[in-house]
Amino acid sequence: KRRFLRVVGGTQATYGSHPWLVSIQNKGSHFCGGAILTDRWILTAAHCFPSLSNVFLSSVTVLVGEFDLRVEDKDEQVFTVKSLLIHENYNHACPMNYDIALVELDRHVAMGARVRPICLPLPDFKIPPSTKCVVAGWGKTWERGHIPAVLREVHLGLVDQAKCKYVQLMIKSSFPKQKQKFLNPAMTILCAGAEGGGRDACQGDSGGPLVCQAGAGSDRWIVLGITSWGQGCGRSWGMKSNRHPSKKGSPGIFTDVKLLLPWIKQKMREAEQQQLSTSGLCSVTDGPVSDSEGLIRNPAFPDTYYDNNQLCLWSIKAHPGHSILLEFDHFDVENSSYCQFDRLTVSGSKNRPVAIFCGKLRPARVLLQNSQNAVLLFSSDINRAGRGFAVRYRGIKGSFPPACGTIVLVEDQISLYTPNYPQSYSNDCALRWVIYSPPGHLVKLTFADFDLEESERCLHDSLTVLGDIEGNKEIAVLCGGSIPPPVLSFSSIMVLHFTSDSRITRRGFSAGLTFI
């Protein structure tokens, strides 16, 4: 029997340990969970709302700061529903797909230590399979059990996407043929739970968030999924399960939040524009930039701090035949390894990241060569903030010779060379090329000339070839006077990072790019 979620095998949570969790109730009875996104918006599941009538919605209340359903908790606040947004592609005939909804509250939530929003994942956030995540709620503690009064939680491991896809196929085959046509092969779900069963979400947990730590030892939690549904509660479901097929369960099925980030952003922004009220998603004006040059800043005023839990996006468009140049006036964003907390990401026309910035050092200027579009995405977590940034943008026409202190986006098969080539490059130079080939192609770098200061392990002047913008995938480190053999990328991206120290300089290098 399929059950809309669906905490089995869990433990009682501690008071305030899930400050983003809400209880959605109908005439005082809990029926679904949800997560605080901003002080006006709640993220939940579409199937929690079988009726969109004003009669039904007028009886729905949203309780934040809830812990014990039997009493009024210290931090409890009660809200009614101002509006409800359900994904346009959600279909009751295929309830596992696009099972996402946004609830707008009638007034602002008062935030505190035990009431605060959950972080949304960044589009490029990666988390390995089997990572332990947490689901909390007031769902049944066993398949035919009762709704508990006190909040419970259960730790679940993410299921490998290949296994999750296999489960999707098995589930699809169990649907009546007339419903199978609604099951899109590109499902918007992810799976979590042990193959042997014993731990799961259950009826009453629907709509609540599947949250995971942002990294090992991190105190920041990110919502990756929305509790959607499953077959049974806590049943074994793996291929080795000895259950009869009719009694087999499934892992917990969750709506993939990262996949539906654009929809979340779009809907909240549309509501903000229509109602002339701030959604809290971004505290400054963002969106498309119409001028060919100008200034983007966050916060809006100098000598103040940007807000926490922000997601701001600016899109810049230049005239045909122009490139876009970004230059920073100042920069102060919470620093962390790999910029995993607060960050500013710069991308080109195809949303391919060119640079990710955090910390207090003013970034290098960014040249999006022969690209008429740029996207700036700023995100902040729930604590610590800096004085933000101010970046000037402008369109430039014609060639822009390589210059120290620049990050250059390259998407064409061109020649690259060090500044001043064939004359000597300067001391204390740093220049970075981010090269993207078309999808399905690799980048091949072939040197025509090469002359950098030689040193042991290339500690002085060097050209480092990387396979990603974060610098985790090193392909080669080159120096000296011999022409290196051609270098091939791992995928469709290659990053070249040239640096020189304060002493000896040489002629530099000249190289050609081909996409194969």
Cβ(45)–Cβ(227) below 8 Å: yes
Fold of 406-515: Jelly Rolls (2.60.120)
Q: Which tens digit of pLDDT belongs to each residue from 78-130?
A: 999 999 999 998 887 766 789 999 999 989 999 999 999 999 988 777 776 65
Q: What 3 state SS string does 356-406 have?
A: EECECCCCCEEEECCCCEEEEEEECCCCCCCCEEEEEEEEEECCCCCCCCE
Helix%, strand%, coil% for the chain, nearest 5: 10, 40, 50
Q: Out of 3.40.50.410, 3.40.50.720, 1.20.120.1200, 2.60.120.290, select the CATH number for domain 287-397.
A: 2.60.120.290
Per-residue model confidence (pLDDT) at position 33? 94
Q: Specify the higher pLDDT residue, 164 or 504.
A: 504
Give the residue range(s) of CATH 2.40.10.10 domains in the chain. Answer: 11-261
Per-residue model confidence (pLDDT) at position 6? 39
Is 206 noted as a catalytic residue in this protein? yes
Check 18, 47, 87, 322 and give the catalytic one: 47
Q: Specify the higher pLDDT residue, 198 or 121.
A: 121
- Give the pLDDT band (50/70/90) at residue 278: very low
Please report the DSSP string for 230-273 in residue order: EESSS---STT--S-GGG---PEEEEETGGGHHHHHHHHHHHHH
Strand bridging mode 406-410 / 365-368 = parallel
- Across the range 214-236, mean pLDDT stands at 74
Q: Tell me: pLDDT of 242 over 70.
A: no
Give the residue range(s) of CATH 2.60.120.290 domains in the chain. Answer: 287-397, 406-515
Q: Specify the higher pLDDT residue, 309 or 305.
A: 305
Residue 47 DSSP SS3 = helix
Cβ(193)–Cβ(200) below 8 Å: yes
Q: Specify the higher pLDDT residue, 229 or 293.
A: 293
Q: Tell me: pLDDT of 409 over 90.
A: yes
- Give the pLDDT band (50/70/90) at residue 234: very low
Q: What are phi and psi of 8, to 5 degrees?
A: -100, 135
Q: Tell me: pLDDT of 325 over 80.
A: yes
In CATH, what class is 11-261? mainly beta
Cβ(376)–Cβ(391) below 8 Å: yes
- This prediction's pTM: 0.59
Q: Tell me: pLDDT of 256 over 80.
A: yes
Check 23, 205, 206, 342 and give the catalytic one: 206
End-to-end CA distance of the chain: give it in Å, rounded: 51
Per-residue model confidence (pLDDT) at position 509? 97
- Across the range 3-10, mean pLDDT stands at 48
Q: How many CB atoms lie within 10 A of CB 99?
A: 31
Check 39, 73, 99, 381 and give the catalytic one: 99
Is 47 noted as a catalytic residue in this protein? yes
Q: Which tens digit of pLDDT belongs to each residue from 44-57?
A: 999 999 888 888 89
The region of weakest confidence among 169-178, 258-267, 378-387 is 169-178
Q: Which tens digit of pLDDT belongs to each residue from 160-189?
A: 877 887 777 766 666 555 555 545 545 678
The region of weakest confidence among 32-36, 240-244, 300-304, 331-335 is 240-244
Q: Specify the higher pLDDT residue, 214 or 212.
A: 212
